[in-house]
Structure 1
Amino acid sequence: MDKKQLSESDIISKFIMPSVESSGWDSMNQIRQEVSLRDGKVIVRGQIGMRQTVKSADIVLYHKPNMPLAVIEAKANKHEMGKGIQQALDYARLLDVPFVFSSNGDGFIFHDKTALKGEPIEREITLDEFPSPQTLWQKYCVYKGYTQQQLPIITQNYYDDGSGKAPRYYQLQAINKTIEAISSGQNRALLVMATGTGKTYTAFQIIWRLWKSRAKKRILFLADRNILVDQTKNNDFQPFGTAMTKITGRTVDPAYEIHLALYQALTGPEEYQKAFKQVDRDFFDLIIIDECHRGSASEDSAWREILEYFSSASQIGLTATPKETDEVSNIDYFGKPVYTYSLKEGIEDGFLAPYKVVRVDLDIDLQGWRPTKGMIDKNGEEIVDRIYNQKDFDRTMVIDERTHLVAKTITAYLKRTDPMAKTIVFCNDIDHAERMRRELVNLNPEQVQKNEKYVMKITGDDELGKAQLDNFINPKKAYPVIATTSELMTTGVDAKTCKLVVLDQNIQSMTKFKQIIGRGTRIDDRYNKLWFTILDFKKATELFADERFDGIPEQVLVVDPEDVIDTENTDFDDALDEIQSVDSDEQDTQKTDDILISSDPIGGSTDETNEESRWVKYRVSGIQVNKIAERVQYYDTDGKLVTESFKDYTKGCIKKQYASLDDFVKNWQSADRKQAIIKELENQGVIWKALEDDVSKELDPFDLICHVAFDQPALTRRERADNVKKRNYFSKYSEQAQHVLNNLLEKYADVGVQEIESNNVLKVTPFREMGRPLEIVKQAFGGKQQYDDAISDLEQALYSQDKTG
């Protein structure tokens, strides 16, 4: 047996696996092959999204399912032993494991992050020297600094329902790092994970392991919205079964071990409302705080008193957007995050959807609008004479034509793309959401006649709208399609198939911006939801350029907590968030609307004849409003938004692969199959269909590349096929072979080079009439090798530099 001729899979099965198994590793429970760690980043251009192909780790070794220890990367024997070490190190980084191996079947290069001072980090070992599970586990425990008391908790398995679902690599890191922190005696922990990455599932697995190991016996999961508690109870937390309860009626039942609760059900301004005081301070030994960037982040908030009452309990904060301001700090309370998984990482890994931004500028927003002197609005109010700008519109100044133009732009986009694409329109307040709903209904009569729920207002004051929230987020339910809202849907809405997020709301808070963008970042392959569009009318997407957008949070709060003054209510966005986060069942809608009007610090006008000076929202019509500009921007590889055509994007991708035209042509000509180059460029982000739509459907990939990337004149497929015919190319073949090749040339002209390289091309018309593929190959060419040679010759003729013949 010539080892150099063996494939990579043969090297694994014949040499690497026997070596590992003979060292004591259990092939059923401790060894996994072809472990996919990423899903593959989605590249978006135009209306097309495509996943990049990602490689899997060849072999991962585990102490237990929740404890990966080592990565092995295999290469064919024609490569040297350490060829795969850098690739394996990348996988090891994702899995957070210290032991890395690369092998070509002759032995292993062993990269050991636990190596002591004076020991080599990398060394060569033979196939017989592969370390045993016990050896690596002992080294791992020393490396991690585990104590004997920690081990029963650390090694407790995560929940497995037998379906094959397991935590993704970053979820496993988040779970393990949190378990390590809690088991070592750390009583506060912060997990920062981007919206849509499974924070609640991660929290469930943390609780499960701590509960099953009996390290924690009574657990409280805290949230500030009913929908968050109910989704958690009915979905991720379901395996807790009868051990779990939702606290209602302000009563804490000690018969249960897992308690889910709204903050509002446990506390209130009056002493009799403080239900949490029904039990002793040490009743709970673990508290999970969901969306901890909101009320619980504030030092003197009513909700914080629950956490301080149970101060002896381990407390874990979950958030996608940690709040760090001069007055409020998650980090000050919980400490620095034990683990962070960002939106950018999620997009790069292919677990989160990238976005396309369509920025729409309206003339009235940029130039402002001033009323004529003494002008009266539609409600009979005299309008204060000043210039009203983008921050005023739909907050203190309503211009009907502006609302109409925004709704018209939304409608035009949906009609151009997909009228049934789930859409959330974020408005400034409930009144704005209702007016936007009405405009969208009137602009979409055909859709509304099919189903009156095509457009729905889903806000805290509307019971009918709130009742449709579950249908909106359910991929199986077609209606509602468009939801207009203000605050209710900014968080806790798991709308996996939301394809359009419309921003017609003034957003100054980075926390809120991240939460709103998170409504679109979920991926659902089953329903072809791979990316989403942000239609921005308020310049909100300028926040993408803010360095705080996707960075690790910097702690801003540095003063003594006793000196902190809660100024939340001076920030309109956060004040609105606090108001609307009250349990909607107990919310006094009229009171809320009054607060929203009176607390606006940005614009508005006071009626000076009124002794109490109230804020006024004016409404006018008959004003001309126009779109000035509309530009499209895409998520780029470095997490930035770029404005470019798909041709420019493709040019950049190709030039990263090929330095010059000669370099590309040489690689193309020497490739046994052109499909390999086409596929490789596809993996680098070239979307051929989008490029054809943008340039020409008549061009072959070769000409598309030469034309777009290297500014060469292009030949159509038909022109290339005709040039081959002019050269009398077929004369050296038999009459039967010429007939086959002529038809292959026609296939090329119609479809492209991929078609003539396809293994199935001889199974379709007109070849089907000539006989079975094997018969055609043998009779016309003399055998498979001769047929392959003829295809190579044909391709050489097609791409010959002699274009004139």
Structure 2
Amino acid sequence: MDMDLTTLSEQDISTQFVIPALQRAGWDLRRQVREQVSFTKGRIIVRGRLHTRGNGRRADIVLYHLPNQPIAVIEVKKATLAVGAGMQQALDYAESLQVPFVFSTNGRGFLFHDRSGTGHPGDRMETELGLDAFPTPEALWRRWCLWRGLDSEQQARAVAPYHDDGSGRAPRYYQLNAINRTVEAVARGQDRILLVMATGTGKTYTAFQIIWRLWKSGQKKRILFLADRNILVDQTRTNDFKPFGAAMTKITGRRIDKSYEIYLSLYQAVTGTDEASNIYRQFSPDFFDLVVIDECHRGSAAEDSAWRDILDHFRNATHIGLTATPKETREVSSLGYFGEPVYSYSLKQGIDDGFLAPYKVVRVDLDRDLQGWRPTQGMLDRNGQRIEDRIYNLKDMDRGLVLDARTELVARKITEFLQATDPMQKTIVFCSDIDHAERMRQALVNLNPEQVRRNRKYVMRITGDDAEGKAELDNFIDPEQPWPVIATTSKLMTTGVDAQTCKLIVLDQHIQSMTEFKQIIGRGTRINEDHGKFWFTILDFKKATELFADPAFDGEPVAVFEPAPGDPVTPPDEPPDTPDGSAPAAPSPSPDGVFPDGGGDGAGEGRRVKYRVGADQVSVQIVAERVQYYGADGRLVTESLRDYTRSCVQKRFASLDEFLRRWNGAEQKKAVIDELAAQGVIWEALQEEIGARGGPALDPFDLVCHVAFGRPPLTRRERADNVRKRDLFGRYEGIARQVLEALLDKYADTGIEPIEDRRILTLDPFTRLGAPVELLRALGGPAGFRRAVQELETQLYA
């Protein structure tokens, strides 16, 4: 038996030993056991203009109590390894899936690791079990409920099924974690619950599944879903919440129909400036037993806000807050209201898992921003105003001082980037205020006349004060609509804009608020594979991306800010004044849910003077430009493609000899090439850079030896010519020799991977030599073809 086990693959071990052991323990193979569970997609790695995906994470076996509740992970290894060889890998998976019971097996037995702490006092954390001693479903479920602190009544409430529309769509692992943790919290009687999930990770779909489970199980009968943008409510109603059907309505007018069970509303639609307009008071305080607050970082947590009045009115209901960026300042605290999050899923986690798009940053520094500018004595601006004599720097640009030459230069740089990549990629340009957004629109129109002639909506200003621009917002975010392509804005598009195909975000806005910065970056993090959106670029003109280095960018929600004696009163997450330079003021949303975009272009009471200086008066130049990539640790890395490739290769192969052993020992070189691609090597980008510096195409073998280990490379043609000189084909005759010579030519033209696949015999020039069956026969059949190719590879890399 032992000898038989050592010859078996991991899948054979699972099929012949592990699955039968589970069946004997009483596990339902159809409902409770899933094999090869892929729960991440693999991080997207970007270099140059190309990308690749790393390997996703896949658990060998996951055990479920019900379809929506994973409770154990099993990692299967070959019998030649120790029973606990897969334990560390399984523990990593279990931590992500939030399951307490972890097993490693080699087919001879199990090593059981119990993370729950629910065993008897003195129990070992890890215990070896025989194949016939695997725990029953009932035993693990009892311990799971103890781990989660659920009594028998709460258990029944916590296991309500999620919605299944039959399409195969199911919550991703982190969504399931968020749903389960929330439903459990409700089952335990918790009435204030916070979920923190990065933009683009499906908060609304997660909210739908939570509401569905609580509604269908009868725990919550009437639900109010609140959002702060019309577009969010409408998208929610027609997309994720559609299965609620006739039980759902949107609050729009002043007359309330109380016959529905699911109500969607803008905060602004149920609150107003006077008592009579607060229509939420038409509902009795106990009408709703669940209130879900989307984007609860905005105004809902402020104690004196009109939105908070709604929550206070329905104080007896369970309140669930959803946010990507918890608001934590001295005045406003999401954590203070909702408590600690029951689950958090960050931008870094989303990028690492391959569910969110990574980014690269093109940082452009301008001389007047960095060095500052001082007007000459008595200098007048374009409007005849005397310019105050002081030094104007980065913070003043487009707020107190407008340099036309700067606007032109920024617009030209945006245009050059689009023309060099894709002029039709959706682009959001974040400006300081409405005036800046309009000037930027004009500059971009003048620099892109051909595109604007094709469609006048190529560039649109989409701001809160412009009805035509706002009317184009739906078209901008619709992946199927090509226009508008470029949107200039200041505040309107920072939140609530699901721009799946936005590939370029331009930052020409001085950003001090971490909350606002996270929201802006979130406009680009969605992936849309159907439209080729895997990553996005941030073109930064105002050093805003320095906030990426702040630990708060992707850290845990912080405690409420309390200034120490002598500290400035302004909290670190709050800008000292509004983006248009006016005095601080709390934003007041309009009835359609649009927040003021802020700012005009002149002076007024309570506003700073804005000077406009012509391009003929002051010039502006680029002094520095660099590209930074999203690194494996979540930090921005300024690194050349060569350096990046060297580090990727050397993580896998410590020396040239180790690489050569792996390369020469591989039955197919494609396996090594794919292995390095999974490590992050982007072959096309590397070939483009090396080739651009000196010549014809190189083989992956030579790229690795040259870039990672400093060896002089040979071109594919040179390698092919060396093989011909050795007369490798001397012992072959007729068709066989012609096939091998054609394979060598094909290698020189296209590389090693195509010639390893015998389907190449169906292509030209092989089809001129004969039918594929005849060519295989001449080489001794499929096995003969493999031997001939391997011999050819040995000579190529000798």
TM-score range, shorter chain: over 0.9
2:464 aligned with 1:469: no
By how many angstroms is 1:742 displaced? 2.0
By how many angstroms is 1:573 displaced? 5.4
Match of 1:379 among 369, 372, 383: 383
Match of 1:620 among 609, 613, 618: 613
Map residues 277-676 of structure 1 onto 2, 5 A cutoff.
277-557=281-561, 571-572=577-578, 582-583=589-590, 585=592, 596=599, 615-621=608-614, 622=616, 623-676=618-671
Which residue in the other structure is 2:176 paired with? 172
Higher mean C-alpha deviation, range 113-122 or range 276-285: 113-122
Map residues 271-282 of structure 1 onto 2, 5 A cutoff.
271-282=275-286
1:463–1:338: structure 2 CA closer, same or farther, 3 Å change rule? same
d(CA) in 2 for partners of 1:578 and 1:214? 43
1:750–1:397: structure 2 CA closer, same or farther, 3 Å change rule? same
Higher mean C-alpha deviation, range 651-660 or range 695-704: 695-704
Match of 2:793 among 788, 792, 795: 795
d(CA) in 1 for partners of 2:774 and 2:65? 54
1:105–1:569: structure 2 CA closer, same or farther, 3 Å change rule? closer
d(CA) in 2 for partners of 1:457 and 1:754? 49
Which amino acid in structure 2 is aligned with residue 109 of structure 1? L
1:178-232, CA deviations, whole angstroms, 9 ceiling, x for partnerless residues? 1111211211111111100011111111111111122112211112221222221
Which residue in the other structure is 1:692 paired with? 687
**SS, match of residue 39 in structure 1:** coil
d(CA) in 1 for partners of 2:576 and 2:391? 23
Which residue in the other structure is 1:16 paired with? 18
d(CA) in 1 for partners of 2:519 and 2:444? 24
Aligned length: 781
d(CA) in 1 for partners of 2:104 and 2:113? 8
1:533-587, CA deviations, whole angstroms, 9 ceiling, x for partnerless residues? 000011100100111110001203469xxxxx99879542599998667136487
Which amino acid in structure 2 is aligned with residue 722 of structure 1? D
d(CA) in 1 for partners of 2:619 and 2:768? 67
2:747 aligned with 1:748: yes
d(CA) in 2 for partners of 1:260 and 1:579? 25
Map residues 172-211 of structure 1 onto 2, 5 A cutoff.
172-211=176-215
d(CA) in 1 for partners of 2:607 and 2:179? 51
By how many angstroms is 1:377 displaced? 2.2
Gaps of 5+ in 1: 560-564, 599-603, 607-611, 801-805
By how many angstroms is 1:348 displaced? 0.3
Which residue in the other structure is 1:34 paired with? 36
Which amino acid in structure 1 is aligned with residue 590 of structure 2? D
* Structure 1 contact 510–543 (Cα < 8 Å) conserved: yes
By how many angstroms is 1:730 displaced? 2.7
1:228-263, CA deviations, whole angstroms, 9 ceiling, x for partnerless residues? 222212211111112212122244432222112222
* Structure 2 contact 434–600 (Cα < 8 Å) conserved: no
Which residue in the other structure is 2:767 paired with? 768
d(CA) in 1 for partners of 2:249 and 2:622? 53
1:341-368, CA deviations, whole angstroms, 9 ceiling, x for partnerless residues? 0100000000000001001111111122
Which amino acid in structure 2 is aligned with residue 746 of structure 1? D
Which amino acid in structure 1 is aligned with residue 628 of structure 2? Q
* Structure 2 contact 221–261 (Cα < 8 Å) conserved: yes
d(CA) in 2 for partners of 1:733 and 1:532? 53
Kindly report the root-mean-square deviation, in angstroms, between the aligned alpha carbons of the 2 structures: 2.5
By how many angstroms is 1:18 displaced? 2.9
1:692–1:577: structure 2 CA closer, same or farther, 3 Å change rule? farther
d(CA) in 2 for partners of 1:737 and 1:627? 61
2:678 aligned with 1:683: yes
Which amino acid in structure 1 is aligned with residue 687 of structure 2? E
Which amino acid in structure 1 is aligned with residue 50 of structure 2? I
**SS, match of residue 306 in structure 2:** coil
Which amino acid in structure 2 is aligned with residue 751 of structure 1? T
d(CA) in 1 for partners of 2:773 and 2:92? 45
* Structure 1 contact 460–584 (Cα < 8 Å) conserved: no
**SS, match of residue 296 in structure 1:** coil
Higher mean C-alpha deviation, range 666-675 or range 81-90: 81-90
Which amino acid in structure 1 is aligned with residue 792 of structure 2? L
* Structure 2 contact 570–576 (Cα < 8 Å) conserved: no
* Structure 2 contact 758–785 (Cα < 8 Å) conserved: no
By how many angstroms is 1:739 displaced? 2.8
**SS, match of residue 395 in structure 1:** coil
d(CA) in 1 for partners of 2:220 and 2:468? 41
Percent identical across equivalent pairs? 60
Which amino acid in structure 2 is aligned with residue 512 of structure 1? E
By how many angstroms is 1:698 displaced? 1.4
By how many angstroms is 1:420 displaced? 0.4
Map residues 41-80 of structure 1 onto 2, 5 A cutoff.
41-80=43-82
* Structure 1 contact 328–557 (Cα < 8 Å) conserved: no
d(CA) in 1 for partners of 2:82 and 2:594? 69
By how many angstroms is 1:736 displaced? 4.4
**SS, match of residue 75 in structure 2:** strand
Match of 1:97 among 96, 99, 103: 99
* Structure 2 contact 101–112 (Cα < 8 Å) conserved: yes
d(CA) in 2 for partners of 1:437 and 1:669? 58
Which residue in the other structure is 1:803 paired with? none
Which amino acid in structure 2 is aligned with residue 658 of structure 1? F
**SS, match of residue 21 in structure 1:** helix
Which residue in the other structure is 2:566 paired with? none
d(CA) in 1 for partners of 2:766 and 2:224? 69
By how many angstroms is 1:90 displaced? 2.0
d(CA) in 2 for partners of 1:785 and 1:262? 68
By how many angstroms is 1:37 displaced? 0.3
**SS, match of residue 776 in structure 2:** helix
Which amino acid in structure 2 is aligned with residue 683 of structure 1? A
1:736–1:585: structure 2 CA closer, same or farther, 3 Å change rule? closer
1:743–1:78: structure 2 CA closer, same or farther, 3 Å change rule? farther
TM-score (structure 2 length as normaliser):
0.93
By how many angstroms is 1:772 displaced? 4.0
By how many angstroms is 1:628 displaced? 1.4
1:505–1:569: structure 2 CA closer, same or farther, 3 Å change rule? closer
Which residue in the other structure is 1:723 paired with? 722
d(CA) in 2 for partners of 1:21 and 1:466? 59
Map residues 202-221 of structure 1 onto 2, 5 A cutoff.
202-221=206-225
d(CA) in 1 for partners of 2:228 and 2:702? 58
d(CA) in 1 for partners of 2:575 and 2:628? 35
d(CA) in 1 for partners of 2:339 and 2:663? 55
Gaps of 5+ in 2: 564-568
d(CA) in 2 for partners of 1:252 and 1:379? 53
* Structure 1 contact 294–578 (Cα < 8 Å) conserved: no
TM-score (structure 1 length as normaliser):
0.92
By how many angstroms is 1:734 displaced? 4.4
By how many angstroms is 1:169 displaced? 0.5
**SS, match of residue 287 in structure 1:** strand
1:766-800, CA deviations, whole angstroms, 9 ceiling, x for partnerless residues? 333344444433433x3444433332222221111
**SS, match of residue 764 in structure 2:** coil
